[in-house]
Each structure stands twice: as C-alpha cells, then as structure tokens.
C-alpha cells in the first residue's frame, strides 16, 4: 500500500504516524519484520517529513546499525532507505561526523561484490549522494577509507574483473550441466555489472578528483 503516492491517500496524509510505526517495528530487531518495515520505509522516506522524523527520532542510527546484519534482503532494503536519506544536507552532515558509519559503507561495498552487483550499485549510490558537496576526501573520509574506496572502485570498474570472478582457476572438470548453469549465470553477471558500471565510474572519478595524499592546509586564526 505504501507504493501509492496519492496526496489524498490516508498513507500520505499520515506519513509521520506510519513512519513512527514502521520504526518501532525496526527496533524490535525481528529480522523478517525488519525487512518488511524497511521496504515500506523505502517508500515513505521519499517524503521529507518522514526523513526529518527519522533523523530527529534517532531512527537513522537504528537503520544504519542494520548494515551489520548478515541478511542480504535487509541490506538491500536498508540501502534503499539510506539513498533517500542522503538527499538532505542535514543527514549528510550527520553522517560526515560519524566516520564509523562511513567505514560501514566502505566495508559493505567491498563485501557486496560476493553477493550481487545490484547491491554494489546501491552502496555506490549512497556514497554518491553523500559526497554531493565534496571538495576534498579529507573532509568526508578518513585516509584509510578513502584509499580503500578508490582501490575497490578501481578493481570493480575494471572489465578484467568479469573474467577473474567468472573463471577462477580450478583443477576440477566441469560437467555439461554445470557449464549450462554457468552460461546463464555469466550472462546475468555481465548484465548486472554493466548496470553498476556508470555509478561506479562516476563515484571513482569524483573520489580521484577530490583525493590528495596531502592534508589540506588549515588557515591559522588571526
């Protein structure tokens, strides 16, 4: 029901009430319930009122903590909400002051490639929104995270990663059935990687343009 964005809808008219209700469900930490609640919040957080409520009610911190979950479905839903949350400059400022959260994003990006390129793309979109006003990576990342992110994006956007991940060296002979499955998977893999590539390349370019191994100069007070 939350997909309907009719201004006269009871859901739209009571956005804050529903946002609070879904946040309460998230806080129960029941994984199945969290997934469904986060799916709904992915729609409600398209509303500025919903996003504001989550920030003011410390719901943002609770949602970020869910990134530690091993559930892939939950990770997808959390990323969808965070993409919406990063639209607001106030949210980006909060995140910038919490480098542990940035480290979570970078770690999730590095680990997501073993799961799905779609998830990699979502994390990149979060970081793209987060760095919208970035002039220097030193203002938005600690040095280790910045270097890790640039290295990871460089690897992920290199076309050779397709062959590396699809055809690792193996000493065993594959059966004909396995080869057929691999052909289907390979087609899906290449298609998913191709969908990730534009946002991955854009984020990498921004990171490289704003990154320097030198610390920015700080103007001394008069």
Q: Which domain holds residue 202?
A: 99-168+180-213
Number of domains in the chain: 2
CA distance readout (Å), 199 to 61, 190, 208, 209, 210? 26, 15, 14, 15, 17
Asked if residue 218 has pLDDT above 80, the reply is no
Identify whether 219 is part of a domain: no
Q: Please report the pLDDT score of residue 143 as a whole number.
A: 92
* Closest of 29, 22, 2 to residue 13, by C-alpha: 2
The residue written with tokens 């007070």 in the block is: 221
Residue pLDDT, tens place only, 65-114? 888 888 888 999 999 999 999 999 888 888 888 889 999 999 999 887 67
Instruction: Please report, for residues 7, 37, 46, 127, the alpha-carbon distance to residue 4 in angstroms, rounded to integers and kept in the order given.
Output: 9, 16, 12, 28
Query: Is 182's pLDDT higher than 50?
Result: yes
For the cut 60, the answer to whether the pLDDT of residue 129 exceeds it is yes
Are 39 and 86 part of one and the same domain? yes
Chain segment 27-75, per-residue pLDDT in tens: 887 888 999 999 999 989 988 889 999 988 788 888 998 888 888 889 9
Answer yes or no: do 87 and 131 share one domain. Answer: no
What pLDDT digit, counting tens, does each position of 139-158 carry?
A: 999 999 999 999 999 999 99
Predicted confidence (pLDDT) at residue 213 exceeds the cutoff of 60: no
The predicted model scores a pTM of: 0.83
Q: Taking the chain, what is the end-to-end CA distance rounded to the nearest angstrom?
A: 58
Kindly give, in sequence order, each residue whose CB lies less than 8 Å from that of residue 77, ignoring residues fewer than 6 positions away.
Answer: 34, 35, 38, 39, 41, 42
The last residue of one of the domains, among 49, 65, 97, is: 97
- Is residue 69 in a domain? yes
Among 97, 124, 147, which residue terminates a domain? 97
Say if 185 falls within a structural domain.
yes
Clarify whether residues 105 and 208 are in a common domain: yes
């Amino acid at each position: 029901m939350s997909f309907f964005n009719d201004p006269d809808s009871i859901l739209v008219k009571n956005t804050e009430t529903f946002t609070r209700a879904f946040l309460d469900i998230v806080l129960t930490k029941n994984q199945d319930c969290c997934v469904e609640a986060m799916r709904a919040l992915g729609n409600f957080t398209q509303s500025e009122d919903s996003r504001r409520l989550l920030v003011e009610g410390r719901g943002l911190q609770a949602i970020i903590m869910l990134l530690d979950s091993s559930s892939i479905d939950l990770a997808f839903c959390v990323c969808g909400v965070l993409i919406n949350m990063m639209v607001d400059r106030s949210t980006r400022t909060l995140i910038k002051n919490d480098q542990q959260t940035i480290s979570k994003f970078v770690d999730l990006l590095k680990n997501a490639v073993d799961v799905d390129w779609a998830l990699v793309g979502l994390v990149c979109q979060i970081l793209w929104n987060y760095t919208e006003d970035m002039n220097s990576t030193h203002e938005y990342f600690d040095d280790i995270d910045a270097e890790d992110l640039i290295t990871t994006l460089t690897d992920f956007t290199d076309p050779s990663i397709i062959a590396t991940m699809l055809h690792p060296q193996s000493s065993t002979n594959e059966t004909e059935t396995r080869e057929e499955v691999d052909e289907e998977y390979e087609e899906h893999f290449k298609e998913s990687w191709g969908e990730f590539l534009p946002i991955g390349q854009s984020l990498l370019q921004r990171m490289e343009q704003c990154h320097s191994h030198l610390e920015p100069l700080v103007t001394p007070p008069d």
